[in-house]
Amino acid sequence: MALSMPEVEEVTTYGMPGFKAGKTRFAVQPYPRPDVQPNSIGVPVSFEERERLLAARPDVYYLTDHFAKYPGVLVRLSGVSRNELREILSAAWHYAMEHRAQPKRARRITSGPARKTRR
């Protein structure tokens, strides 16, 4: 599903599979930790959206202490249908594209003779 979206490529982050759009990750399999449930993915969402999702569907969305400081949420894949997963990935893709990493501003390089200074 994720690879069918524009500008998406599969990546590895901390040894775990994921996907990025442009230069921003938007779906990752979290690194195994005692508090991360198997068969989960992490997706970016605003802090406000995360609170809404956690309140509306605590059976699907959850958070760990490690992920609490990041704008995102963990998703139990066993709790969603294929259509719901498509919606989750689409929303995460849109979020990533809106917040994609900005290229570093190029330094201005001048060539040619040195500038003359006034005296």
Name the residue among 24, 40, 43 with its Cα closest to residue 32.
Answer: 40
Cβ-proximal residues to 109 (8 Å cutoff; 6+ apart), any chain:
none
Give residue-wise pLDDT tens across range 24-37: 888 988 888 899 99
Element at 96 (helix H, strand E):
helix 82-98
The C-alpha angle 66, 8, 93, rounded to 5 degrees, equals 55
Residue 102 DSSP code: P
CATH architecture of the region 2-98: Alpha-Beta Complex (3.90)
Burial category of 100 from C-beta neighbours within 10 Å (exposed 0-12, middle 13-18, buried 19 and up): middle
3-state secondary structure of 105: coil
What pTM was computed for the model? 0.77
Cβ atoms of 95 and 45 closer than 8 Å:
yes
User: Which phi-psi region, left, alpha or beta, contains residue 33 (left: φ > 0; alpha: ψ -120 to 50)?
Assistant: beta
3-state secondary structure of 54: helix
Give residue-wise pLDDT tens across range 66-105: 889 999 999 999 999 999 999 999 999 998 888 765 554 4
